[in-house]
Copies of this chain bind each other. A is one copy, B any other.
Amino acid sequence: MKIALCQINPIIGNLDYNKDKIIKGYGNGINEKVDLVIFPELALVGYPPLDLVEKSEFRKAVNKKINELAKITGDVGLLFGAITEDDDRIGTNIHNSAVLCYKGKVQFIQPKSLIPNYDVFDEMRYFEPAKEVFVHKFKGEKLGISVCEDIWNDADYWYKRRYYVDPVETLKKKGATVFINISASPYSYGKRKERLEMLTILCKQDKLPLAYVCCVGVQTDLVFDGGSMCLDKKGKLVQLGKTYEEDFFLFDTEKDKEIKVHVEKSFEEEVLASLIYGVKEYFEKMKFKKAVVGLSGGLDSAMVTYIAVEALGKENVHVVLMPSKYSSRGSLTDSEKLIKNLGISSDNVSIQPVVDETISQLTPKFKQKLGKLTGENIQARIRGVYLMAFSNNDNYLVLTTGNKSELAVGYCTLYGDMSGSLAVIADVYKSDLYKIANFINREKEIIPKEIILKPPSAELSPNQKDQDDLPQYELLDRILKMYLEENKEYDEINSIIKNEKVVKKVLRMVDINEFKRRQAAPALRVSKKAFGYGRRYPIVQGWRT
């Protein structure tokens, strides 16, 4: 069987746009004389559609588009993901389905059986599981069609399974001769390798070829990196889609030969590429061209600026230096070096007169004398006011520059440096940012070495250093990774770190700063556990604090 895989980038909710992509891909498949053209999970709708699914007019419109798509089909099969409905008056009656059309009609609908509802996934909120799975006879094959998560419950791969049923096993039992999985699997580092490993074991054991097509694109904070795959019945990788762009390629289930590639790149390369893609896509889908970044002279803002330049082009990135009396000479010269290296435009506007005026207005009114934190936050917030004014006036989106370590412990100012549309590096720990910076500089110095080498400082007080308030970032990040990503708790973490005071302090800082994160900008997700919808903690809670 000859299958065309269409790895497309849908816009959530824009049914006409997505439908046109499907029509185009189907046409390309016909030109290539394939038997079947396949598209990702919810290709017609965009993933994740979230509460749009709850709108009945939206679902009606989806249904209409499904029928319009079916009408254009001839002998060649068209398989794509969409929302379908049943009508038994119990449950949501809504399904996340694979829809197969040919000869002018919807011929077969296979709803998703396994409905993910963890981390960033909320699908039980919307979708009912399939009542049953079927194979579908088509052009001499029996298609075993599944949707994303359906393929992620193999008893041979997982020690602990999420679900009681294994729809793919059922498809095999019902005589499937080809597996097709349509997906929308968001990126996190390590995921590519995991996907391939899991699919390899599955194909090898079931002795069936697999076409796995996923989407590409960025949906607010979720990065979909592409990399659709085809495996032969021995579990060998025979086709691999591009990453970070749409792709169209063919799979001959009988003839294709093994290819030797590493699906996974280095941490630095992969995460950097994902962040660049994240910024590029966010701007395109929000219909903005230009970004503004507050450049402090530190690593974080330098990295965000570099990423923005790679994503949007140097002509579309503007930086603003906003020094105060606490800004070091170095913070200006280092920033200037970066500006030169990147070839971008900049402004330099002191915050000092406005900060001074604010303090002189407020100090007489305060009950207590002006506190250190008050003064620091005023500086950060006036910078926020400046950047947002540039945004409002000259049509930039503000990129926030906080990293994951800072956001975790609340070492950031709400309505100050946290102000902005998109948090570019908020899912990257500070210690990992150094690695990525060195990766960027691997051939020539782009991020000035002074910026990489200087001790991190918010420069909100005289001679302030991050490490006056926080543990060394290497240590802090080790603790944070265990706490946030590995769900370890105090006892276990301390048995590894062996520093009661520091571990307690860090965990407490994470817990009490939930209120800040609740108001943070969406953060591009590149780890298995990012702040945002994937991590939900009460603001008010008393567990070990």
Contacts and interface: CB of A to CB of B under 8 A. Distances in A.
B419 A220 contact: no
A347 interface: yes
A49 B541 CA distance: 8
Contact of A90 (B56, B164, B374, B381): B164
Interface in A32-72: 46, 48-52, 54-58
Contacts of A52: 537-538, 541, 543
A81 interface: no
A84 B267 CA distance: 38
Given A90-B163, A540-B285, A393 B374 contact: yes
How many monomers of this protein are in the complex?
A: 2
A386 B415 contact: no
Contacts of A384: 381, 415
A204 to B, nearest CB: 23
A535 B50 CA distance: 9
Interface in A343-382: 347, 349-350, 353-354, 357-358, 361-362, 365-368, 370-371, 373-374, 377-378, 381-382
Contacts of A50: 536-538
Interface string A12-39: 1111010000000000000000000000
A41 to B, nearest CB: 16
Nearest to A519: B519
Interface residues of A, number: 95
Given A12-B540, A366-B390, A382-B385, 11 more contacts: A13-B544, A58-B543, A89-B160, A125-B536, A358-B386, A362-B386, A362-B389, A365-B390, A367-B394, A370-B393, A533-B536
Interface of A: 11-15, 17, 46, 48-52, 54-58, 89-92, 117-118, 122, 124-125, 159-164, 219-220, 282, 285-286, 320, 347, 349-350, 353-354, 357-358, 361-362, 365-368, 370-371, 373-374, 377-378, 381-382, 384-386, 388-390, 392-394, 414-415, 419, 421, 487, 489-492, 515, 518-522, 533, 535-545
18 contacts: A12-B543, A13-B538, A13-B544, A13-B545, A14-B541, A46-B541, A55-B487, A57-B491, A90-B160, A117-B125, A349-B361, A353-B357, A358-B389, A366-B393, A368-B394, A374-B393, A385-B385, A518-B521
